[in-house]
Amino acid sequence: MLGEGILKGLAETAKNFAGSFFSAERLTTVEYPEDRIAPIEAARVFPILIYDGLDWEAGLRCVACQICEKECPPKCIFIEKSKDKKPDVLGKPQFYPAAFDIDISVCMSCQICVEVCPFEAIKMDTVYELSTEDRFEGLLLDRRQLARPNRYYQQIHPTEAGVVDARLAADKVKSDAKAKAASDATAAKAAAAPAAQNSPKPGEGN
């Protein structure tokens, strides 16, 4: 019948109108600056650099391999490789980033840098209130601004961080065992060497 659909529609909207005053589940609006939804674990905004220990500069996991820089689709990462090497967590001498900049005005939050990183050094942050008054310098973050302790990573992505930490710990155990075996082998070799050489070389023997 003509007009029946209109009446049905009017009833539906009237139901919505009245319902929005009484039932909280209808009214899904979160009044943002005052109210916030609970942080979502899988959320991702912009990348951060993870460091171990307390000193951000010494603890940065990044070894400046520049894979993320090459993979980044919008080319928002700039890395300058160091000239010298310094030991990483495993004690192996590695390069480190002398400069690591991310232009978050260019970054598209695709997470490809995170996927390609072999050192678990770059992860996604969940902070989204990043507005600034300076749209050039304010959005170009250097390695100091990007560095976050591993503790922070465990806090924002607990599940993911658990997996990563377990893997890193296993690597550490493995490399320790390897180092131990190597040092044992050297020690054994040293012991097996003829004792005739009794005069120590300069710099040794203390």
Partner 1 sequence: MFALLDQIFVLLKHSLVGYFPVWMQPVVSVLISVVVIICLFPALFALTTVLERKGLARIQNRIGPNRTGPFGILQPVADGIKSLTKEDIVPSSADGAVHFLAPIVLVVAVFMGFAVLPMGRNMTLVQMDAGLLFFFAIGASTELSVFMAGWSSRNKYSLLGAMRAVAQMISYEVPLLMSSVAVVMITGSLSLGKIVEAQNHYTWGLPHWYIFTPWGLAGFVMYAIAATAETNRSPFDLPEGESELVAGYHTEYSGFKFALFFLGEYLAMFSISGLGTTLFLGGWSAPLEALNWVPSWFWFFSKLMLSICVFIWLRGTLPRLRQDQLMNFAWKFVLPYTLLILMVTALWRFLGPGWQQWVYCSAILIFAYIAMARTGLRRGHIGPRKYRYAE
25 vs 137, beta carbon nearer partner 1: 25
Q: Which is nearer to partner 1, 19 or 87 (CB)?
A: 19
Identity of the residue, 17 or 136, whose beta carbon is nearer to partner 1 in the bound complex: 17
Of 29 and 131, nearer to partner 1 (C-beta) is 29
- Shortest Cβ 32–partner 1 spacing (Å): 11
CB of 10 to partner 1, least distance (A): 5
| Residue closer to partner 1, measured from CB, 37 or 193 | 37
> Regarding beta strands 93-94 and 86-87, do their DSSP bridges make them parallel or antiparallel, or are they unpaired?
antiparallel
Nearest distance in Å: CB 39, partner 1 = 23
Q: Rule CB under 8 A: which residues touch partner 1? A: 1-3, 6, 9-10, 12-14, 16-17, 19-21, 26-29, 31
Q: DSSP string covering the chain, please? A: -TTHHHHHHHHHHHHHHHHHHH-TTT-----TTT--PPPPTT---SEEEEE-SS-HHHHB------HHHHH-TT--EEEEE-SS-EE-TTS-EE--EEEEEEETTT-----HHHHH-TTS-EEE--------S-TTTTTEE-HHHHEEEHHHHHHHSHHHHHHHHHHHHHHHHHHHHHHHHHHHHHHHHHHHS-TT--SPPTT---
Q: Closest approach of Cβ 28 to partner 1, in Å?
A: 7
Q: How far is the CB of 30 from partner 1 (least distance, A)?
A: 10
